[in-house]
Chains A and B, each alone.
Chain A
Amino acid sequence: GAVVSQHPSWVICKSGTSVKIECRSLDFQATTMFWYRQFPKQSLMLMATSNEGSKATYEQGVEKDKFLINHASLTLSTLTVTSAHPEDSSFYICSAVTGQGPYEQYFGPGTRLTVT
């Protein structure tokens, strides 16, 4: 149980275009989802916390108008990278938490974004 999927697994887009990444909890309801980005050989950087039915909470330094997050249901959150630039190329990972302990975050497989 506790499976999280992400789609797409990888995407290449041109500079200036927008890309949407979906994160789904397949067999549980996720009241909270987290979006991370990770550069090679580095740690995970939390971008935002997404709660179902409410606006996302962005971490300091993350542009909310550039990284649009929508958590429309208890099983789906989306991250849209708007007007993508090459520096947005990264590994984007979502995670979800259930209402049960021990506070484990279940991670999606990640989306590798390359902006050309």
Chain B
Amino acid sequence: GQSLEQPSEVTAVEGAIVQINCTYQTSGFYGLSWYQQHDGGAPTFLSYNALDGLEETGRFSSFLSRSDSYGYLLLQELQMKDSASYFCAAYHAGNNRKLIWGLGTSLAVNP
């Protein structure tokens, strides 16, 4: 089958660094994306890794290791507004570029 596993909840304090891991088992793996979703809102794109290594975008970085079927999202200098759900999602090779979603990690940032 196809699945992505990530922790269900993570708690951190303002200013800290948090890493959200994602392991995947998907056939036809093409790349790994990360999305953020605030309560009641729609997912917003954070990052995409097609190749092994680290992608940095401001306070957020994402890492992929294809050999380990593993990736992570790193959030630095946490702010209260970062409290949200974070989803890893794997792209399935094919014309439709369908995403296979993890169950999401609820991040709570405390003062």
When the two chains form their complex, are residues B43 and A32 in contact, meaning their CB atoms are under 8 A apart? no
Contacts of B33 in A (CB 8 A): 103-105
Known A-B contacts A43-B103, A109-B41; the reply to A34 vs B87 at CB < 8 A is no
Bound CA–CA A109/B40 (angstroms): 9
B91 close to A (CB within 8 Å): yes
A42 and B48 CA atoms in complex are apart in Å by 22
- A43 & B101 in contact (Cβ 8 Å cutoff): yes
CB-CB < 8 A to A102: which residues of B? 31, 48, 50
Question: Using Cβ atoms and an 8 Å threshold, which residues of chain A touch B45?
Answer: 104-106
CB distance from A23 to the nearest CB of B (A): 11
The interface residues of chain B lying within 8 Å CB-to-CB of A95 are 43
Across the A-B interface, how many residue pairs have beta carbons closer than 8 Å?
Answer: 53
B interface residues (Cβ-Cβ under 8 A, vs A): 30-31, 33, 41-45, 48, 50, 87, 91, 96-99, 101-104, 106
Interface-located stretch among A11-19, A44-52, A62-70, A71-79 = A44-52
Q: In the complex, are the beta carbons of B42 and A32 less than 8 A apart?
A: no
B104–A43 CB distance below 8 A: yes
Which of B30, B97, B102 makes the CB contact (< 8 A) with A97? Answer: B97
Q: How large is the interface on A (under 10, 10 to 19, 20 to 34, 35 or more residues)?
A: 20 to 34
Query: Which of A43, A93, A103, A107 makes the CB contact (< 8 A) with B91?
Result: A103
List, sorted by A's number, 30 A–B pairs whose CB atoms are closer than 8 Å. Answer: A32-B97, A34-B98, A34-B99, A41-B106, A43-B87, A43-B101, A43-B102, A43-B103, A44-B43, A44-B87, A44-B101, A49-B98, A97-B97, A102-B31, A102-B48, A103-B30, A103-B31, A103-B33, A103-B48, A104-B45, A104-B48, A105-B33, A105-B43, A105-B45, A105-B99, A108-B42, A109-B41, A109-B42, A110-B41, A110-B42
Q: How far is the CB of B30 from chain A (nearest CB, A)?
A: 8
Closest to A45 in B: B101
Set of chain A residues within 8 Å of B96, measured between Cβ atoms: 32, 49, 51, 57
List residues of chain B with CB within 8 A of the CB of A110: 41-42
Task: Give the docked Cα–Cα distance between A57 and B98 (Å).
Answer: 11
Chain A residues in 8 Å Cβ range of B104: 42-43
Other A-B contacts than A44-B43, A102-B48, 10 sampled, CB-CB below 8 A, are A34-B99, A41-B106, A42-B104, A44-B87, A46-B98, A46-B99, A46-B101, A105-B97, A107-B42, A110-B41
